[in-house]
Structure 1
Amino acid sequence: MMIRTRIALASLLLVAGFAQAKQATYKLDPNHTMVVASWDHFGYSHPVANFLNVDGTLVYDADNVANSSVTVTLPLSGLDAMVPKLTAHLQSPDFFDMAKYPTATFKSTKVESLGGNKLKVTGDLTIRDKTNPVVLEVTLNKAGESRGQPKIGFDATGTIQRSAFGVDAMLPNIADAVQLRITTEASVPKPEGAEAK
């Protein structure tokens, strides 16, 4: 009886592993996604700004990571520097010029496995209609299920040069290099009509 139980348990784990390894398309959860930028301000401090209301789609293939991809849109109306005057200044023509360029976007061009739960994601970041390549070092935190839906979570870090995107006000007193820290959760959307059942 004990042997049968162990075999049954092993079979279930194997099936679960195969199910989790299949390629899946996830929708980023804006309530559990933070894109935080930080920079050096005259050498005195390191302010931060968070980009809220992130919209994006993530395709993840655990069997062949190279088949994975991510597309993200950052509405600049969601930019929050935690200080109203700073938020307004960052959204102004001096920096992001939100009225003329209301969104920033990221679209991956290459996803590589670095072993274990580490990935390298290369992609095109577009700000103020200027597109430049960006490399993100990514950690897969967890893949599992939540409320019956496949779910996945990642952290990522990277550095960009803001002048490459035409965001060059007050250089060099305000640093050109901007550090990015990203944390996100994403779920496979439920089929249409599933909620009504």
Structure 2
Amino acid sequence: MKKNILSAVFAIVIATAATAGVNPIDGEKKEVNAETSTVTWKGYKFAGSHYGKINLKSGTLLFDGDKLTGGEFLIDMATISVEDLKAGEGKEKLEGHLNSDDFFGVEAHNTSKLIFTTVKATGKNSYEVTGDLTIKGKTAPVSFDVSVYGSKATANLKVDRTVYDIHYGSTNFTDTLKDKAIYDEFDLVVDLQF
């Protein structure tokens, strides 16, 4: 009898240890299809703007029923492309510059990461999200809106590049740029399929 009680206690301790850290409210993880999802960037300068694409490496969205509760994404920085210029119009030069240490330093920092830290429902299928965005090894909070419809989600982010030590062309760090100034904020438009 004593041996059976000890065995039962031991089984409960093992089961508790095995499930430690597992929270049933964490919900269901849905893998994002990195090949069919798109991330479009747009940067602004005094004399105009440029836009292009960048690929997701991986991503997951977390749901409790049909309610968004979290997310985590890895971005493949080596895939930065410029879409508004054709070859011969400076496309390769600009892509090279974006990859350089003046901007994203892709050789040393080939991925960026976004982890949702809070998700607040603001209406049917709409959420206000705060997350930790890591670029060039620096992490800072960003806030943005997310909409979820069926197996698709969209988000629009405005990112201040100077927070991540990307100062090239910023008037906040030099006042001699005049018409070569590049604005500190750039946009990311994200269309996810999962």
- Please indicate, yes or no, whether the TM-score normalized by the shorter chain is above 0.5: yes
Indicate yes or no: 2:42 matched with 1:38: yes
In structure 2, what is the equivalent of residue 174 of structure 1? 182
Aligned Cα root-mean-square deviation (Å): 1.7
* Percent pairwise identity: 24
Question: Which residues of structure 2 form unaligned runs of 5+?
Answer: 1-25, 84-90, 172-180
Query: Is the contact made by 1:57 and 1:72 (CA closer than 8 Å) also made in structure 2?
Result: yes
Q: Closer, same or farther in 2 for the Cα pair 1:55/1:63, shift >3 Å?
A: closer
| Residues 20-70 of structure 1: CA deviation (Å, up to 9, x unaligned) | xx942111111221112212122x2221131114311111224654xx211
CA distance in 2, matches of 1:54, 1:101: 14
Partner residue, 1:136? 144
1:127 and 2:142 equivalent?
no
Match of 1:85 in 2: 93
The answer for the alignment partner of 2:50 in structure 1 is: 47
| C-alpha distance after superposition, 1:68-122 (max 9, x if no partner) | 2111011111111232221111001111011111111000101110011211111
Larger Rg: 2
Q: Give TM-score scaled by structure 2 length.
A: 0.74
Q: Pick one of 96, 101, 105 that aligns with 1:97.
A: 105
CA distance in 1, matches of 2:112, 2:155: 17
User: In 2 relative to 1, CA 52–131 (structure 1 residues): closer, same or farther, beyond 3 Å?
Assistant: same
Aligned to 1:13: none
Q: 4+ residue stretches of structure 1 with deviation over 6 A?
A: none
Kept in 2: contact 1:28–1:54 (CA 8 A): no
Structure 2 partner of 1:189: none
Greater strand share, structure number: 2
